[in-house]
């Protein structure tokens, strides 16, 4: 599509399934987007464009693509979508190419990415909560399976600019004054479902359909809530364990045919983000004196599988 006026230049660092979906939606709407990713992705997009295979449409868009992070130079908005295992190294590499007024948005799992980005490279990134089920079956082909919305915050000129950017691309983006609580709400659901999906090689729907798996989900959620309470986190609408559990199962039902990102990584023999999910809860729980045996067990089992790759 032709580029419309008044769009900021957008650089997407870490063009996988999630980054490909949101970057693709922006490119489809007319924003000038450069996607920075690994050579197979870049070569596919340069040759044939990016295929957006969504629940609503199938369309090919033609953003710029590069495997050089220097391509982010001059971007008004940078979407930081790398795996949490690569946060520090990617932030350090990105920093020299940012303008003084560049807005960096972390579209990652976990709750402490902006702190890690700041510690590694001095970049003041905005946190975002990402709700999308997507996969990349082949390089340059994004398969969208469910949802596709964001939460940013707290309200500021920068978050308003980011929200407006996504809304123009028909991507719902809500501003929250309790962004920490929103991040932890997503963490509850990630901890509840991701590792179980990976270890059980199961879709979210299969987890919900199993009475035994539901019991594991329930115990995992209770541990995460206990850590959140000890840490003083206010979870919007999830203070009641029953509400938190219902929310986890609702997410699973909305994305019933999907396997978690952890499961997708494990199937490919790749490192997962488990250190930022159940592993994070186990570490913080130990620091605060909160028992988290199930989160620790899920974390340990995933790490054992990773060690065998």
Mean pLDDT of the region 68-88? 96
The backbone torsions φ and ψ at residue 152, rounded to the nearest 5 degrees and listed phi first, read -125, 175
Average pLDDT, the chain: 94
Q: What are the domain boundaries of the chain?
A: 10-177, 180-307
- Residue 191 sits at the vertex; the CA angle it makes with 182 and 103, to the nearest 5 degrees, is 40
Note the pLDDT tens digit of each residue in 250-290: 888 878 888 999 999 999 999 999 999 999 999 999 999 99
- The pLDDT of residue 251: 80
Instruction: Return the CATH number of the domain spanning residue range 10-177.
Output: 3.40.50.720
Q: Does domain 180-307 have CATH number 1.10.1040.10?
A: yes
Mean pLDDT of the region 235-263? 82
Chain-centroid distance, C-alpha 70: 23
- Listed range (50-64, 107-121, 137-151, 251-265) with the worst mean pLDDT: 251-265
SS3 category, 103: strand
Note the pLDDT tens digit of each residue in 60-71: 999 999 999 999
For residue 70, what are its two tokens? 């220097």
55 and 73 in contact (C-beta within 8 Å)?
A: no
């Amino acid at each position: 599509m032709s580029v419309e006026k008044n769009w900021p230049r957008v650089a997407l660092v870490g063009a996988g399934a999630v980054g490909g979906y949101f970057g693709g939606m922006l490119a489809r709407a007319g924003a000038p987007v450069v996607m920075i990713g690994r050579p197979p992705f870049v070569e596919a997009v340069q040759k044939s464009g990016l295929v957006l295979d969504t629940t609503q449409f199938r369309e090919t868009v033609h953003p710029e693509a590069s495997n050089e992070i220097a391509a982010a130079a001059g971007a008004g908005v940078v979407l930081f979508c790398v795996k949490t295992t690569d946060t520090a190294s990617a932030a350090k590499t990105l920093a020299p190419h940012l303008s003084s007024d560049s807005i960096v948005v972390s579209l990652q799992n976990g709750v402490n990415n902006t702190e890690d980005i700041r510690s590694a490279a001095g970049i003041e990134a905005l946190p975002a909560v990402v709700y999308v089920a997507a996969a990349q079956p082949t390089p340059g082909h994004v398969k969208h399976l469910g949802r596709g919305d964001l939460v940013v915050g707290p309200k500021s000129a920068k978050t308003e600019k980011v929200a407006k950017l996504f809304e123009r691309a028909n991507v719902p983006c809500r501003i929250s004054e309790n962004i920490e609580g929103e991040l932890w709400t997503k963490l509850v659901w990630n901890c509840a479902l991701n590792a179980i999906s990976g270890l059980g090689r199961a879709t979210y729907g299969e987890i919900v359909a199993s009475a035994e798996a539901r019991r594991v989900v329930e115990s995992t959620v209770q541990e995460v809530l206990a850590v959140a309470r000890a840490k003083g986190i206010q979870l919007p609408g999830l203070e009641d364990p029953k509400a938190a559990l219902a929310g986890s199962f609702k997410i699973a039902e909305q994305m019933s045919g999907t396997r978690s990102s952890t499961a997708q990584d494990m199937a490919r023999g790749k490192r997962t983000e488990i250190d930022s999910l159940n592993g994070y809860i186990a570490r913080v729980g130990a620091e605060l004196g909160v028992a988290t045996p199930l989160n620790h067990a899920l974390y340990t089992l995933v790490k054992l599988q990773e060690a065998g790759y």
